[in-house]
Amino acid sequence: MAYSTIFPNPNIPGMGQTPITSPEGSPMSAVDTPSAPEGRQHEQVDTVVIRFCGDSGDGMQLTGTQFTNASAAFGNDVSTLPDFPAEIRAPAGTLFGVSGFQLCFSSQDIYTPGDEVDTLVAMNPAAFKTNIQDLKVGGTLIVNEDAFESSNLKKAKYESNPLEDAESLSKYRLFKVPMTRLTRDAVGDTLKSTKDKDRCKNFFAMGLVYWLYDRDKKPTLEFLAKKFARKPELIEANTLALDGGFNYGFSTEAFTVHYKVAPAQLEPGKYRKIMGNEATAWGLAAAAKLAGRELVYCGYPITPASDVLHYLAGLKHFGVKTFQAEDEIAAMCSLVGASYAGALTVTASSGPGICLKGEAMGLGMIAELPMVIVNVQRGGPSTGLPTKTEQSDLLLAMYGRNGESPLPVVAAATPGDCFHMAMEAMRIAVEFMTPVIFLSDGYVANGSEPWKIPKIDDLHRIDVKYLSEPNQDGEFMPYLRDDRLVRPWAKPGTPGLEHRIGGLEKADVTGNVEYDPDNHHHMTLIRQQKVDNIAESIPEQVVHGSQTGDVLVVSWGGTFGSVRAAVNQCISAGRNVGHAHIGYIHPFPNNLGDILGNFKKVLIPELNMGQLRFLIRGKFLCDAEGLNKIQGKPFKISEVVEKIDSMFE
Amino acid sequence: MSTALPVLTPKDFASDQEVRWCPRCGDYSILAQMKRVLPTLGIPKENFCFVSGIGCSSRFPYYLDTYGFHSIHGRAPAVATGVKLGNPELSVWVITGDGDALSIGGNHLMHAIRRNVNLNIILFNNRIYGLTKGQYSPTSEVGKKTKSTPLGSIDNPLNPLAVALGSEATFVARAVDMDTKHLIEILTRAAHHKGTSFVEVYQDCNVFNSMAFEYAANKRGNPEKGLKPKSENIVYLEHGKPLIFGEKNDKGIRLIEGRPEVVELGNGMTEDDLLFHDESAESAGIAFTLAQMHYPEFPEPLGILRDVDLPRYDEGVEAQMAHAIDVKGEGNLEDLFNSGDTWVVEE
C-alpha cells in the first residue's frame, strides 16, 4: 500500500548537536517525556520503505536484518530486498563496493519491499550516489556527513560535496549526522582503536532509525549478547553506539517527527521471520524427517544457492547428510547414485550450475529415480549477475537436457512459500519416481517475511515405499509400472531384486537395454505421460480477484508480490482483473486452459524475455501479452499497474 | 535353518545378458576373474553394487547379476560416492577405463581417491578409445597414430598409478588381464582394503590397439619382434621381499640416490643390495618411483604398490551424524521452527 504523507516541516540539518544522557523510561513509549524537544510529533503511519546503504564493510546487511527482526517481532508485516555487490570486499568507498538493504514494514498486508524509498540512510558518498535516485520526493535522507570528505568524494567520483548542493537536496528532508564522530564519542574508552570504534557506526545508525520508528531494542541487544558472547567489550561498545544513535534522535531538535507503525493484522497464530533459502532447507529436511528417512544433499557452492547447503549442513542431527562435491556435475551424479541406493536426495544450484548438471539430470530422468533439483535463479546469461534476481531459467528447466527429457517443474512465490514448495517437490519426486526441478530466485531466496509456523501434524507425510519382493511371476521387473505409470523403487541391499539400470534406452517392464524403434517411441510417450499424470495429484489453479473478465494477469515465481499488489490496486480502482499465480508449471494444473479462456486478455509479467508466455502460447494457443524486464531487480508495483491499465485502452 | 550366508559360486554372479565384447577382448578375462573373487568375500550378493561410466569397460555391470548402474562418461566415481552416501553398507565397485577415468573423469577420480571413500576402482587401461572406434586416449604413447591423430599423438600420456598416488590413494595396484591368478589375488586384496582401492588392469583391445601390453603378457616372448619373455619386462612386487625379476630371477632393482637402477645379481651384487618392497610405507615417495618405471628402460611393476590404512570418508560422514545427535540430541522439527525470535498474533 502506498505511503504518501508529506511532512509539513522544512529540513533542519542536525549539525553540532551533542546528545544528552538517555532519559528514563521505555524506548517503546509513544508518549514523549517532558525533556523531549517541544513541538515534536508522534505520527502514525501505515507503511514505511527504508533503505540502508553503505560500504560493503559498513554492516548494512546486519543493520537491515536487525531492523527487520525488530519490526517483525513487533508484529509488522515485512518484506525485504538485500542488495549485495558481487565482490566480497571491494575497496572501501568505491561505487561498486556499495551494499544495500531495503525493507518495507507495515501495519497492512504487504507484498513487496516497496517501489519507492521513504527513508534512505546513506553512510558514504558512494552509497549516496548510487541510491539517491530511488528516494522519493519528500523522503527522509539521513547521511553520515563525516564520511563526505575529500578522499571518499573522489572515490565516488564527485567533484564537489553533494551535501552542499542545497537546491537539489531541498526536495528531501535532509539530516546530516556526524555519525563517525558521535559513534566515537558514544563508544568512548570501551574500545581502544579508532578503527574498531568506527565499526560500530552501523549500530549508531540503527539506534537513530530505531528511535525514528519506535523499534524495540531488545531483539538487537539479545543478538549482540549472543554474537559477541566471548568479546564483552564489543557488546558494550555496540550497545553504547546503539543507545547513542537512539538518544541523538530523541534529543536533537532536528527530528521533529517520529513515527509509529502499528502491528499488522496477520492471521492469528505463532510467527517467525523466515528467509527463502532457510525455508527451502527446512522444507526439505522436514519432508525427509516426516517420511522417516535420511536426507542426502549433494551440492557445490554457488551464489545465491550456497545458503541452502549451509542451513542443511547444520541439521545433521535431523539425519541430513550434506556432501560438498568437487563440482556441480559431481554433485548431480552423486545425487543420482544416492537415489539409486534408496535415499531422499536434493541439490541446489543456480543457472550456470544447472547447465552443468544437464547430462546427469537426464540420467536421473531416464533411470526414473526420485530427486529434487533446486535452481535459485540469478541474473544470466553465463556468469551474469550473481547477486541479482531474475527468472530466466524456466525454459532451461523445461528443455535443458538432450532428447525428449520431460521433468516436473514447480516454483516458489515468496520466502515462506519456499518451505511449502520444497516439500511438494520432494513429494512429487518420490510419488512419481522422477527428478523434480524446484525454481526459486535470488529475490525470494534472500528476502524475508513473516511466516506462520505450521503445526507439524498438519504437514504432509510422504509414504516412501521400497519393493521387497519380485513383482512379476517370481521375477523382478524394474520398469513394471502402476496405473500412474510409476515404476517401483528397489534399492540395492534387497535380496532377489538385483538389477542393472543406466542411461541407455531401455525396454519397458524389463529395463534391459533396447534399441528397438517402436520401444523407443513407446518409452518416450510413457515418460511424458507419467509427468502429465502428476496433474491429478496437484491442486487446481486458483484465480484471485475477478474469475472472468477483461484482463487475467498470469505470473510465476518471485514476481508474486509485485503482481498481487498491482492487481489489488487495479481492483480497488474498479478494474475487472484477475490474478493467477502459477506454482506448478509442468505439468500445469488441469483447469488452467479453461481459466485462460475466461478472460479477454492475458498478461504475463516476467523477469525474462517471455518464457512462461512461450509455454502458455504454445500449449493453449492463447495470445498472451508480456511485460518483460531484465534489470536484475524485482518489478515495481507501479510498473505492473501501468501495464495493466494500458491493456484497458 | 542355518543363518550362515548361502555359499555363492561364480555362476551365481552371471547375468542373463549376452556378453557383447569383441572376441578375444581382455574384458572377458577380467569378468571371469571377478566372478571368481566375489563369492569369496563373505558379502551377500545383494550388497554388491557395480557402477560404471561409458566405454567398453563400462558395459561390465550388465554382465554380472548384482545391482549395477551404467552411468555417464567419467562420472562413475561421483555416482559411486553417492551410492555409498545413500547406503554405506554396500560393497561398491567402480568399473572404468583410461578415457573414462583420466580424460573426462579425471577430476572425479582424483576427489574420490583423496576422500578415501570405501570404493574399489578398477581401471581397464587399453591405451585407446575402443567404444568410439579408435581415438587416442590419455594413456596412449607419444606418436600413436589413430583416427584422431593421423600424424601421431603429440600429447604426453598420463600414468594412472602416478595419478592415483598423487591423489593420495591408500591402495594402488596394477595387474594384467590374462594374468589370471595374479589378477584374482589383486582384486581380492583390493576388496579387503578399507578405503579407496585403485587397480589399473592392463587390458588388451585386440581390435583397436592389439598387443599393446604384449611385453607384460607374453610368457615366451616374441623373438621376431625383439620381444623378450614377460618375466624380463615386469617385476612382481611382494611386501617385504626384494625386487627381483628375469627368467632366471637374475636381475633386481636397487635405488641409487633415490633413482631406480636395474642390476644383475652375482659378482658381489646380492639381494641385500636391492630395494625391498614395503606396501605400508607411510610416504608414497618410493611407490611413486616404482610407478615411474616404464618399459623398456625398466621392468614395469605389477602387484600392490601401496596399501595403507587412513580414515575413510563414508565412515567419517556416519560418525559426524552420530556425533551431532550426541551433542544436539535427535532433531525435533517443532523446536527448529520455534527457534529464534517468534511472536504471536492473537485472535
User: Each residue of B157-214: pLDDT tens digit?
Assistant: 999 999 999 999 999 999 999 999 999 999 999 999 999 999 999 999 999 999 999 9
Q: Nearest CA to CA, how far is B86 from chain A (Å)?
A: 4
Contacts of B84 in chain A (CB under 8 A): 337, 341
Mean pLDDT calculated for residue range A70-74: 90
pLDDT for the residue A253: 82
Per-residue confidence band for B42, with pLDDT thresholds at 50, 70 and 90: very high
- Contact across the interface for B70 and A503, Cβ inside 8 Å: yes
Q: CB within 8 A of A445, min separation 6: which ones?
A: A275, A276, A277, A280, A304, A305, A307, A376, A415, A418
The 10s digit of each residue's pLDDT in B270-324 is: 999 999 999 999 999 999 999 999 999 999 999 999 999 999 999 999 999 999 9
> pLDDT grade, residue A28 (50/70/90)?
very low
Mean pLDDT over A581-602 rounds to: 98
> Closest partner residue to B331 among A73, A289, A340, by Cβ?
A289
Residue B229: CATH number of its domain: 3.40.50.970
- How many other C-beta atoms lie within 10 A of the C-beta of residue A9? 11
In this predicted structure, the answer to whether residue A19 has a pLDDT above a threshold of 80 is no
Averaged over A408-429, what is the pLDDT?
98
Give the pLDDT confidence score for residue A604 in this predicted structure: 98
- Would you state the pLDDT for residue A31? 37
The predicted pLDDT at position A40 comes to 84
Return d(Cα B134, Cα B148) in angstroms, integer: 8
Tell whether B305 is covered by a domain. Answer: no
pTM listed for this prediction: 0.91
B324 SS3 class: helix
Task: Write the DSSP string, B16-41.
Answer: SSPP-SPTT-HHHHHHHHHHHHGGGG
Task: Give the integer Cα–Cα distance in Å for A294 and A491.
Answer: 14
Q: Please indicate, yes or no, if residue B64 is contained in any of the structural domains.
A: yes
CA A649 to chain centre: 34
Tell me: the pLDDT tens digits for B48-85? 999 999 999 999 999 999 999 999 999 999 999 999 99
Q: Chain A contacts of B342, Cβ < 8 Å?
A: 270-272, 453
Answer yes or no: is pLDDT of A492 > 80: yes
Residue in chain B closest to A267 (alpha carbons) equals B345
CA A371 and chain centroid, separation:
23
A268-310 confidence digits (pLDDT tens): 999 999 999 999 999 999 999 999 999 999 999 999 999 999 9
Domains of chain A: 41-260 (3.40.920.10), 272-458 (3.40.50.970), 465-538 (no CATH), 544-646 (3.40.50.920)
Which DSSP symbol is given to A424? H
Smallest CA–CA distance from A339 into chain B, residue: B86
pLDDT tens digits for range A366-387: 999 999 999 999 999 999 999 9
- Confirm whether B131 is domain-assigned: yes
SS3 at position A318: helix
- Alpha helices for chain B (secondary structure H): 26-37, 76-86, 98-99, 106-115, 160-166, 180-192, 214-217, 285-291, 313-328, 333-337
B333 located within any domain: no
Would you state the pLDDT for residue A35?
Answer: 60
Domain range spanning residue B121? 10-236
Domain contains B215:
yes
Per-residue pLDDT tens digits for A107-141: 999 999 999 999 999 999 999 999 999 999 999 99
Is residue A7 over pLDDT 80? no
pLDDT at A12 over 70: no
Q: Where are the beta strands (DSSP E) in A213-279?
A: 257-260, 269-275
Average pLDDT of the segment spanning B74-98:
98
Quick one: cell of B149?
Answer: 591423430
Chain A contact set for B110 (CB, 8 A): 326
Q: What are the backbone angles phi and psi of residue A9, rounded to the nearest 5°?
A: -85, 145
pLDDT at A446 (0 to 100): 95
**pLDDT of the residue at A210:** 95
Q: In this structure, is residue B73 part of a structural domain?
A: yes
Find the CB nearest B75 among A69, A333, A338: A333
Number of CB pairs, chain A paired with chain B, less than 8 A apart: 215
Residue B41 belongs to a domain: yes
Q: How far apart are CA B307 and CA B32, in angstroms?
A: 25
Q: Is B87 in Cβ contact with A492 (below 8 Å)?
A: yes
How is residue A524 written as a grid cell? Answer: 518416450
Q: Rounded mean pLDDT of A213-226?
A: 92
Mean pLDDT score across all residues of chain A = 92
Q: A interface mutation test: which of B16, B54, B83 has the most A CBs within 10 A? A: B83
Min CA distance, B208 vs chain A (Å)?
A: 24
- Res. A93 pLDDT band, cuts 50 70 90: confident
pLDDT for position B4 = 65
Beta carbons within 10 angstroms of residue B151's beta carbon: 7
How many domains is chain B built from? 1
The region of weakest confidence among A2-11, A188-197, B62-71 is: A2-11
Taking alpha carbons only, the member of A572, A569, A594 closest to residue A580 is A594
Helix/strand/coil percentages in chain B, nearest 5: 35, 20, 45
For chain A, state the CA radius of gyration: 27
Cell 568524494 belongs to A153
pLDDT 10s digits, A468-484 = 999 999 999 999 999 99
